[in-house]
Amino acid sequence: DAKTTQPPSMDCAEGRAANLPCNHSTISGNEYVYWYRQIHSQGPQYIIHGLKNNETNEMASLIITEDRKSSTLILPHATLRDTAVYYCIVRVATGTASKLTFGTGTRLQVTL
């Protein structure tokens, strides 16, 4: 799986948009970009994933650059409950044994 690079930490004011970047310059054509987050002392929670088109769901939006070498996760209106470690993971989607390899992620702190 392609390696990803994320900033170790970010701050965001409550109510503002949180934009979390991820670099994955060695991504292959069949690899998807996945985002998970982990709130303290809980299991990771799936947020969103995409291949090359921008994606949006009830939690967030995923913007993938045209060359697919980087992406941005956007939480449109961050709340205190969004404080967590956010992991950007690149992997092939298919295959029952296709596993997730976690990097160090970005620790997002949402403040009042």
Partner 1 sequence: GAVVSQHPSRVICKSGTSVKIECRSLDFQATTMFWYRQFPKQSLMLMATSNEGSKATYEQGVEKDKFLINHASLTLSTLTVTSAHPEDSSFYICSARDLRGPGANVLTFGAGSRLTVL
Q: Which residues bind partner 1 (CB under 8 A)?
A: 32, 34, 36, 38, 41-46, 49, 87, 93-94, 96-97, 99-105
Closest to partner 1 by CB, 13 or 102: 102
Closest to partner 1 by CB, 14 or 44: 44
Q: How far is the CB of 70 from partner 1 (least distance, A)?
A: 20
Q: How far is the CB of 59 from partner 1 (least distance, A)?
A: 12
Closest to partner 1 by CB, 21 or 44: 44
From CA 97, how far away is CA 6, in angstroms rounded? 26
110 near 14, Cβ under 8 Å?
Answer: yes
Q: How far is the CB of 45 from partner 1 (least distance, A)?
A: 7
Distant-in-sequence contacts of 37-40, Cβ < 8 A, 24+ apart: 37/82, 37/84, 37/85, 37/86, 37/87, 38/84, 38/85, 38/87, 38/105, 39/81, 39/83, 39/84, 40/84
Closest to partner 1 by CB, 36 or 73: 36
